[in-house]
């Protein structure tokens, strides 16, 4: 077994770089995670027709491979976030 000695500062730099690389890898996994049409229907509690309408109206990004429709989970989240309506209360409605 070979023993290598490095300075503490250099070791911390290497650990920081490894953490950044790990975070990038995990982010890319999320970006490429796919769900099929059945998963989308169940996740969003919608019908097949609604999903087809969303695709036709380009409300959600998708891919077709063979006879199956796939969605990137990231795209589904972005679609939800784009159409998010924030609720608020004015002081007058509280009184």
| CA-wise closest residue to 70 among 34, 44, 42, 41 | 34
Give residue-wise pLDDT tens across range 58-82: 999 999 999 999 999 889 988 888 8
Asked whether the CA dihedral 50, 71, 44, 87 is positive or negative, the reply is negative
Average pLDDT over all residues of the chain: 85
**Angle, CA of 25, 83 and 79, to the nearest 5°:** 35
Q: Which pLDDT band, with edges at 50, 70 and 90, does 94 fall under?
A: low
Q: Is 66 left (phi over 0), alpha (psi -120 to 50) or beta?
A: left
**Whole-angstrom Cα distance, residue 71 to residue 88?**
32
The answer to whether 52 and 59 have CB atoms below 8 angstroms apart is: no
Cα–Cα distance, 79 to 43 (Å, whole number):
13
């Amino acid at each position: 077994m070979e023993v290598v000695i490095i300075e503490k500062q250099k070791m911390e730099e290497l650990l920081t770089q490894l953490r950044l690389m790990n975070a990038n890898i995990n982010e890319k996994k999320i970006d490429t995670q796919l769900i099929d049409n059945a998963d989308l229907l169940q996740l969003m509690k919608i019908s097949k027709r609604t999903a087809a309408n969303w695709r036709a109206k380009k409300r959600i990004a998708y891919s077709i491979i063979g006879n199956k429709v796939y969605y990137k989970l990231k795209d589904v989240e972005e679609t939800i976030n784009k159409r998010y309506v924030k609720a608020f209360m004015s002081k007058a409605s509280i009184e």
